[in-house]
A = this chain, B = another copy of it.
């Protein structure tokens, strides 16, 4: 049975020593004093370890069941959901006027990592609700907000997002679900949606579905798609629940993982729906939440890597097998613990340096979203928009790989379900797919984001790395050698790739697109290199100031050095691949594969 310990100390380090949130001028950040964030994080960590995590294996084993249209969630989920609701966790970063606590997104993200680590399938019920509520908040009428938000912010009602149909996932222009306008201003929604997470369940009185559909007579393709609110139970004017709406769960999918979350086929049979935002502007309404949603999925990659690492580490210290080649470390025992073996350490350091770097990257990203939303900072908005596909694609790919590495530490015990390591990989796998498959993230990055606003944001990124290096060079030889030099070299590789795309992409866009996946990974490594250098500076500062806890900061430095020395050189490989251009990729006729 695996265990989970919330990494609150590391989060505090990132928030206060690297990002220095409480010194920021972003409105609301002044509340984020170390004592306050510590109290919130500890409390969230407690509920994660004690309430959510014990249900993780239960959810995987029992899954959800559908009988006569009713979906039952695994044993204990409902009681835990009540507890989350009672604790006010779902509304942590939601506006006070709808019952939320108006905390910055950066804090919500740190809390979300713990919930996700301890039980991803469970946390998705409130995660989807958060997404749907955010859409109503951004695009709803006052009446819609008043009707739905208070109940959704508290998670008395939950929410869903209905995009995919069986024949269209990424290419939503092919959508067939129809919306027929009614005389009273509402619409009748008819069609079938698939892969609807939390689509139907027994943990809330009502479920508010946000559904993409085409209004009859509207433009063809993606430009004719609108967004609708379709409640499971219609809501009376006094806020009480009315008749059951014409929407039902037709099936729940058998999946590789996240068994505790009900992934539903949803059938809309003339269901009453209400337009959310403008006609034919459904995609735009979805896109306003995209940065947050994708950052949230990137966070899931980290979250599963973190818990998998914690349990791999436990096993590596506990399991006795073989001897240290440089001399026994446990001479009185029958063998040394696994952790003495260099290749086990290599794997653990891969995992540790990824998890800590990814956490810093995500919290930095979340702080930019705060800056954009709370301060109207357009540069932050542009930069986080550029980095969003990197956060989503790179962190979920790497996060998955780390769960596989963690599973590997267990040998055969990692393959059987008993130890729980298999679940981490099976759950982590979905994050590479949903909210835009990672190939689509790479396309978004290279095909859209690089050139956005005349390439301003990517240039700003390189400028930021450059000035960071300049400002901090020459003060500490070890820092220059171990952090700045590798960062500069990796950043140079990334720039060379960008230059290749500019020069060769003009001749043939496939010269850029064929390298998009490598570019996304390269970019991710450079970002992790940057945040590691920033964390190293913060750690140095603490050591120089005579910290009471030198081991923590020295460990931080050593972990960072590992990332720079052992992970960052991946940029060399990616650059070589990119510079081979489109020809090797595109040359075969489809028929000759």
Residues of chain A having any CB pair with chain B under 8 Å? 164, 167-171, 173-174, 194-195, 253-257, 263, 313, 317, 320-322, 325-326, 334-335, 337, 339-349, 352, 400, 404, 407-408, 411-418, 422, 425-426, 429-430, 432-434, 437-439, 442-443, 447, 508-510, 513-514, 516-517, 551, 554-555, 558-559, 561-562, 565-566, 569-570, 572-573, 576-577, 580, 582, 584-588, 590, 592-593
Evaluate contact between B555 and A426: CB separation under 8 angstroms.
Answer: no
Checking B340, B344, B576, B585 against A439 with a beta-carbon cut-off of 8 angstroms, the contacting residue is B344
A561 to B580, CA, bound (A): 10
Count this chain's copies in the assembly: 2
Evaluate contact between A585 and B195: CB separation under 8 angstroms.
Answer: no
Evaluate contact between B254 and A313: CB separation under 8 angstroms.
Answer: no
11 contacts between A and B (CB under 8 A): A174-B335, A345-B514, A345-B585, A349-B584, A408-B437, A412-B434, A426-B426, A555-B588, A559-B588, A565-B577, A573-B573
- B residues within 8 A CB of A337? 590
Measured CB to CB, the closest approach of chain B to A356, in angstroms, equals 11
A580 to B562, CA, bound (A): 9
Evaluate contact between B551 and A592: CB separation under 8 angstroms.
Answer: yes
Checking B194, B348, B514 against A346 with a beta-carbon cut-off of 8 angstroms, the contacting residue is B514
* Secondary structure class of chain A's binding surface, majority of residues: helix
Q: Which residue of B lies closest to A343 (CB)?
A: B439
- B residues within 8 A CB of A408? 432-433, 437-439
Q: Which residue of B lies closest to A441 (CB)?
A: B343
Evaluate contact between A442 and B343: CB separation under 8 angstroms.
Answer: yes
A422 to B320, CA, bound (A): 33
Evaluate contact between A415 and B437: CB separation under 8 angstroms.
Answer: no
- B residues within 8 A CB of A438? 408
Evaluate contact between A322 and B171: CB separation under 8 angstroms.
Answer: yes
Q: Which residue of B lies closest to A576 (CB)?
A: B569
Measured CB to CB, the closest approach of chain B to A572, in angstroms, equals 5
Which of A195, A415, A555, A558 has the most chain B CB within a 10 Å cutoff? A415
A171-B321, A349-B585, A565-B580 known; A514+B343 contact, CB < 8 A: yes
Measured CB to CB, the closest approach of chain B to A587, in angstroms, equals 5
A510 to B561, CA, bound (A): 17
- B residues within 8 A CB of A334? 174
7 nearest A-B residue pairs (beta carbon): A569-B576, A565-B580, A342-B513, A573-B573, A256-B422, A342-B514, A562-B584
A343 to B520, CA, bound (A): 12
Q: Which residue of B lies closest to A422 (CB)?
A: B256
Checking B345, B415, B508, B572 against A586 with a beta-carbon cut-off of 8 angstroms, the contacting residue is B345
A425 to B401, CA, bound (A): 13
A429-B415, A566-B577 known; A593+B171 contact, CB < 8 A: no
Evaluate contact between A256 and B415: CB separation under 8 angstroms.
Answer: yes
A169-B411, A412-B169 known; A565+B584 contact, CB < 8 A: yes
- B residues within 8 A CB of A442? 343
Measured CB to CB, the closest approach of chain B to A183, in angstroms, equals 32
Q: Which residue of B lies closest to A482 (CB)?
A: B584
Evaluate contact between B577 and A313: CB separation under 8 angstroms.
Answer: no
Measured CB to CB, the closest approach of chain B to A565, in angstroms, equals 4
Q: Which residue of B lies closest to A442 (CB)?
A: B343
Measured CB to CB, the closest approach of chain B to A196, in angstroms, equals 11
Evaluate contact between A570 and B573: CB separation under 8 angstroms.
Answer: yes
Evaluate contact between B510 and A342: CB separation under 8 angstroms.
Answer: yes
A418 to B251, CA, bound (A): 13
Measured CB to CB, the closest approach of chain B to A495, in angstroms, equals 18
Checking B253, B342, B432, B509 against A326 with a beta-carbon cut-off of 8 angstroms, the contacting residue is B509
A335-B174, A562-B585 known; A412+B195 contact, CB < 8 A: yes
Measured CB to CB, the closest approach of chain B to A260, in angstroms, equals 15
- B residues within 8 A CB of A588? 345, 349, 555, 558-559
A301 to B558, CA, bound (A): 35
Query: Besides the contacts A174-B321, A317-B593, what 14 more A-B pairs have beta carbons closer than 8 Å?
Result: A164-B412, A171-B320, A173-B335, A253-B417, A255-B415, A256-B425, A256-B426, A263-B416, A325-B513, A341-B513, A342-B586, A349-B584, A412-B434, A558-B584
Measured CB to CB, the closest approach of chain B to A392, in angstroms, equals 14
Evaluate contact between B415 and A430: CB separation under 8 angstroms.
Answer: yes
Measured CB to CB, the closest approach of chain B to A526, in angstroms, equals 14
Q: Which residue of B lies closest to A570 (CB)?
A: B573
A325-B513, A326-B509, A582-B342 known; A433+B412 contact, CB < 8 A: yes
A433 to B426, CA, bound (A): 17
A256-B417, A349-B584 known; A343+B411 contact, CB < 8 A: no
- B residues within 8 A CB of A555? 588, 592
A348 to B588, CA, bound (A): 11
A420 to B345, CA, bound (A): 35
Evaluate contact between A418 and B580: CB separation under 8 angstroms.
Answer: no
Evaluate contact between B584 and A561: CB separation under 8 angstroms.
Answer: yes
A171 to B558, CA, bound (A): 30
A272 to B322, CA, bound (A): 30
A326 to B344, CA, bound (A): 47
- B residues within 8 A CB of A513? 325, 341-343
Evaluate contact between A171 and B339: CB separation under 8 angstroms.
Answer: no
A510 to B574, CA, bound (A): 28
Q: Which residue of B lies closest to A564 (CB)?
A: B584
- B residues within 8 A CB of A558? 584, 587-588
- B residues within 8 A CB of A412? 164, 169, 194-195, 433-434
